[in-house]
Structure formats: C-alpha cells, structure tokens
Amino acid sequence: SAVISQKPSRDICQRGTSLTIQCQVDSQVTMMFWYRQQPGQSLTLIATANQGSEATYESGFVIDKFPISRPNLTFSTLTVSNMSPEDSSIYLCSVDSIKASTDTQYFGPGTRLTVL
Amino acid sequence: ELKVEQNPLFLSMQEGKNYTIYCNYSTTSDRLYWYRQDPGKSLESLFVLLSNGAVKQEGRLMASLDTKARLSTLHITAAVHDLSATYFCAVDIGAGMRFGAGTRLTVKP
C-alpha cells in the first residue's frame, strides 16, 4: 500500500488569499488525483496530475482557480486561489499505484480548509 | 456523464441485523471501489471489484459486482457498533473516480 502525507492538515484563511496544499507519497506513482469534499458531502474529483504534463481538470474546475504542479513521481501540489467561503472543504489527494493495476486507490489524510 | 447512485443515504440498524447498501452506475467501468469514512477522517479502502460476478468479503462486510446490471452491493452481516461510519462506492472513470453520495450507517445497541 501507499503511504500519503498532506500539508497542512488544516488551515483557516482569509477571503481573497491563496493556499497551496502539498501531497507526498512514499513510492513512485503514475497518477495522482485531487478531490474536494464539501461539508457533509461526497467527494468530487478536481483534477488528475501526471508527471511531465499539465493537469487534466474535471468539468467545473479550472486551472486559474486550482493550479496543480506535479514535479516528480512522488509529489504534487494543489493551490486554491483567490479563496471565498465556498472553497471551505476538505481537499484530499489520492494515488493510483503503478505497482499493481488491481490495487485500490489510496487517499491522503486530507487538508481541512476554512475560508472566512 | 457517468452517474453513481447509492442508496439508502441514511441507514440506522440494530446490532445483530443484516442489511445491504446498493450502488448503481450509469455506464460501463473496469473497477468499482468501496470506501469507509469515519467522522473527521480520510477514506479507508474496503474493496476493489474488477470483474463481473466478483465477490469479496472482509469480516462482516461482503461486496459484489454485477457489471451487466451496473450494480454493486455492500452487505452487512450481524452489524456491530464499530461498523458505524459513512460508506462510499466509487466507479473508476479512467483517471480518478466518480463517487456515490455515501450511506451514513448508524448501528445501535
């Protein structure tokens, strides 16, 4: 299994500012994903981050709002830009192991963001 | 667009009883996942189902997949309080997953 860490674990931010969330994996993985979980809701895929190429965004999410970096096979960042209270959510990164196609997808512990 | 419908959304059970959570999805997919989430926690992987007729069991939980019916079930046998959590099914969409709304399970003594 993959061990995933995220920083920060939580933050409280002011409207109009930006926050960068880091995701570190203990092994090399092909694909990394970023999800959002709004309060009391299910998870929604924001984008897929592949090393060496631009992230692929799901409908309703744009690069200007959620820029993503993927500099290597073990690390990715998600920035939440120009935040508003509606961005208050838990942001989770997830990985798809390259070691076994039959393996599950693993989730990081999440970053709980509150925007005032 | 792929839709994943999960029901029931809320489930209150007595300890010792059995129940099934259903997950329907609208288009074909290679993989279906079940996750558990405790309050304030991240997601814990329970099962990944890869083929039609796949059945997996872990303790009091058993998951199955019928790709022709586009249906997966999570069966709970003789529920215990420790199973209280939110359960999500999720369907692989080639890159990432589409999640159901989740079933909030409460097991009462």
Percent of chain B with pLDDT over 70: 100
Burial of B56 (0-12, 13-18, 19+ CB in 10 A): middle
Asked if A45 lies within 8 A of B98 by C-beta distance, the reply is: yes
- pLDDT (0 to 100) of residue B9: 97
pLDDT digits (tens, 9 = 90+) for B30-69: 789 999 999 999 999 999 998 888 899 999 999 999 999 9
- pLDDT (0 to 100) of residue B22: 98
Choice among A14-18, A35-39, A85-89, B95-99 with the minimum mean pLDDT: B95-99
Q: Are strands B103-108 and B55-58 parallel, antiparallel or unpaired?
A: unpaired
Asked if B96 lies within 8 A of A33 by C-beta distance, the reply is: yes
- pLDDT (0 to 100) of residue A99: 56
Residue A24: phi and psi, rounded to 5, are -120, 135
Asked if A42 lies within 8 A of B102 by C-beta distance, the reply is: yes
Chain A residue nearest residue B89, CA to CA: A42
Confidence band of A2 (pLDDT split at 50, 70, 90): confident
